[in-house]
Amino acid sequence: MDNEIKEEELHGARVKTALADMPNDEQIAEMGARFKTLSEPSRLKILLALAAGELCVEHITEAVGGNQSAVSHQLKTLKDNKIVKCRRAGKKILYSVADAHVMIMIEVAKEHLNCND
C-alpha cells in the first residue's frame, strides 16, 4: 500500500527531526540528574517543606519526619545539585530553595496528582 511507504517516509523524517532537536549527551545527563534529585520522596518532602520558606535542619527534620542524619545527607545532595542553598545563623544552619525551575517542576507534578488522565 502507498500508505505504508508514506508512513515510512514520515517516520524517517521524524527520526531526523528527533536527532536534530536532541540535546547532546551532557545536556541530557544534566536534565536526568535534575529529575533524579527530585525522584526521592525524602528529598521531595524536604523541598515541599522549604516551599514555605527558609528553615533550619531541625525544623526540616520535624516537617518531613525522620532522622537527622538522613535529612542532613539529603540536604547535602540537594546542595551539591544547587537546588538548595544555606547560611549560618548562630548555631543553626538555615536552608532555602535556590532553584526556581525545580519548584516549577514540582508544582507541575503536584497539579498532575489531581488529574483524571
Question: Does 87 participate in binding a second copy (rule CB under 8 A)?
Answer: no
CB 46 within 8 A of CB 78: yes
Query: Which DSSP letter does residue 87 get?
Result: E
What would the grid cell of residue 103 be? 519548584
Q: Please, which residues have CB within 8 angstroms of residue 91's CB and are 6 or more apart in sequence?
A: none
| Helix (H) or strand (E) run with residue 25 in it | helix 25-39
| Helix (H) or strand (E) run with residue 52 in it | none
Question: Does 88 participate in binding DNA (rule CB under 7 A)?
Answer: yes
Question: Does 70 participate in binding a second copy (rule CB under 8 A)?
Answer: no
Question: Does 93 participate in binding DNA (rule CB under 7 A)?
Answer: yes
Pairing of strands 84-89, 92-97: antiparallel
Question: Does 104 participate in binding a second copy (rule CB under 8 A)?
Answer: yes
Q: Which is nearer to a second copy, 14 or 76 (CB)?
A: 14
* Site residues for DNA per CB under 7 A: 36, 40-42, 56-58, 66-70, 72-77, 86, 88, 90-93
* Site residues for a second copy per CB under 8 A: 4, 7, 10-12, 14-15, 17-19, 21-23, 25, 27-36, 38-41, 44-45, 48-56, 59, 62-63, 89-90, 99-101, 104-106, 108-113, 115, 117
